[in-house]
Amino acid sequence: MKKYHSKLEERFLKYVSYWTTSDEEGTSNPTSPREFELAKVLEQELNDMGLSKVLLSDTCYVYGLLPATPGMENKKAVGLIAHMDTAPDFSGKDIKPQIIAEYKGGDILLKGNNTYIRVSDFPHLNNLVGHRLITTDGTTLLGADDKAGIAEIMTAIDEIKNSDIPHGDIWVCFTPDEEVGMGPNSFDLDYFKADYAYTVDGAYEGDIAYENFNAASAVFDIKGINVHPGEAKDIMVNAALIACEIASMLPKQETPAHTEGREGFFHLTDISGDVGSAKLSYIIRDHDKNLFESRLNRLRALEVEINQIYGANTVTLTITHSYENMLSVMKEHRYIIDLAKAAIASSGLEPVSYPVRGGTDGARLSFMGLPCPNLGTGGYGFHGPYEHVSVTSMERVVNILKEIVSNPAEK
């Protein structure tokens, strides 16, 4: 039988062996039936651990409850959440992990395609010297986002179940389709009876994140007039050129490649078309609600301006709101953040709170009535072939989770 460094590592390597990439074009729930394969494994493991209320829903959500120990029934119920799918940005099939028993520092060779995880690109590697690392072989992503979170939750629950650690009710849930923005779509808050929860889906293991972007998508649909170029004077309206003009009218420095921290952006994700019609697709992000609205108003003003130049209805702008910054909810539930920070500090780490430059299931769940900040996993370089995770850090996360649930809030 193959030996692993720890049960945690064994679980993680088992989970990443399942191909669970969600489908950006999928309309079903889950977006890909293959997500059920891992869900069935997790359902069985929760049953084998002896949890109650274990359920695999027909929409691919795995629920379970570790009931409170005697005398702790008056505590608030806490939830732990991670997602099963991997990002469609890069292949998540046939993953071949590389294990570095003790990282000595320096660039890491990915043997599948002879590329490197370079310290110059990932300077946090300097803080992982001496750690046990797992990387990709360069041909796929790893799946630490978020199978590291699943392995950490499973290991924490297993260790709590087989210990004398007192705790209130602990709910767990493993969700599909987080990577395509559909994670909370069928989350059953009537079944999952937690008073507050944590998604375990971040990077640095000492991070407790409770700020994320306000987010929207924006699409410019452009109608042109296509006539023979030899007879086009004062008639032709070239939709493709208008698309380029719109793109050039937005600030070049306010794109993802030039922003960081709490700085927002306009991100052109797709441009297509010809003389007769064209389309520009953007995602709009900002942590500050007022700045976010200013960005959307800037797009609306562009629509008006272009139609004034080229004629009414040349351009139609459609804005769709995606999610909001959970900070407004978390301000009302500071104790959840304080519990996590205390648990992180007790593990010997410095708690930090980086603003999430994206969204989390926890943001939407917070607005659905379940306050839910995000904890780090010890994984980095998500969504691509340079993804890697520290097993050493994952072990710390397990201890952090155990500390959090052993000190639940009062009802």
One domain for residues 94 and 206 = yes
Identify the pLDDT of residue 3.
60
Q: Is there a single domain that holds both residue 78 and residue 160?
A: yes
Q: Does residue 411 belong to any structural domain of this protein?
A: no
Q: Is the torsion defined by CA of 118, 120, 124, 128 positive or negative?
A: positive
Give yes or no: residues 310 and 292 share one domain: yes
240 within a domain of the structure (yes/no): yes
Q: Which of 323, 353, 371 is the last residue of a domain?
A: 323
The conformation of residue 407, written as its DSSP 8-state character, comes to S
Last residue of a domain, one of 290, 323, 356: 323
Range of the domain at 191: 7-211+325-405
Cβ pair 302, 247 in contact under 8 A: no
Q: What's the CA gap between 143 and 97, in Å, rounded? A: 10
Question: Is 356 part of any domain?
Answer: yes
Domain of 281, CATH number, reads 3.30.70.360
Which of 322, 265, 321 shows the shortest CA–CA distance to 288?
A: 265
Tell whether 91 and 183 lie within a shared domain.
yes
Q: Same domain for 255 and 355?
A: no
Residues recognised as catalytic: 85, 178
Are 136 and 284 within one domain? Answer: no
385 close to 110: Cβ distance less than 8 angstroms? yes
Do residue 195 and residue 218 come from a single domain? no
pLDDT tens track of the chain, all 411 residues? Answer: 456 679 999 999 999 999 999 998 888 989 999 999 999 999 999 999 999 999 999 999 999 999 999 999 999 999 999 999 999 989 999 999 999 999 999 999 999 999 999 999 999 999 999 999 999 999 999 999 999 999 999 999 999 999 999 999 999 999 999 999 889 999 999 999 999 999 999 999 999 999 999 999 999 999 999 999 999 999 999 999 999 999 999 999 999 999 999 999 999 999 999 999 999 999 999 999 999 999 999 999 999 999 999 999 999 999 999 889 999 999 999 999 999 999 999 999 999 998 888 778 999 999 999 999 999 999 999 999 999 999 999 999 999 999 999 988 887
Say how far residue 66 (Cα) sits from the centre of its chain: 25
Q: Looking at 299, 323, 347, which one is the last position of a domain?
A: 323
Task: Give the total number of structural domains in the chain.
Answer: 2
Q: Does 228 reside within a domain?
A: yes
User: What pLDDT is recorded for position 354?
Assistant: 87
Residue 2 counted as domain residue: no
What is residue 1's predicted lDDT score, i.e. its pLDDT? 46
List the CATH number of the domain containing 112: 3.40.630.10
**Residue 12: what pLDDT?**
98
Note whether residue 86 is domain-resident.
Answer: yes
23 and 117 both lie in a single domain: yes
Burial class (CB in 10 A: 0-12, 13-18, 19+), 341: middle
Clarify whether residues 375 and 319 are in a common domain.
no
Pure H helices in 215-360:
239-248, 289-310, 327-330, 334-346
pLDDT at res. 266: 98
With respect to residue 410, please indicate whether it lies within any of the assigned structural domains: no
Q: Does 20 share its domain with 139?
A: yes
Report the pLDDT value the prediction gives residue 4, as an integer from 0 to 100.
67
User: Does 141 fall in a domain?
Assistant: yes
Q: Do residue 279 and residue 381 come from a single domain?
A: no
Peptide bond preceding 30 in cis form (omega within 30 of 0): yes
Looking at the fold, whether 71 and 194 belong to one and the same domain comes out as yes
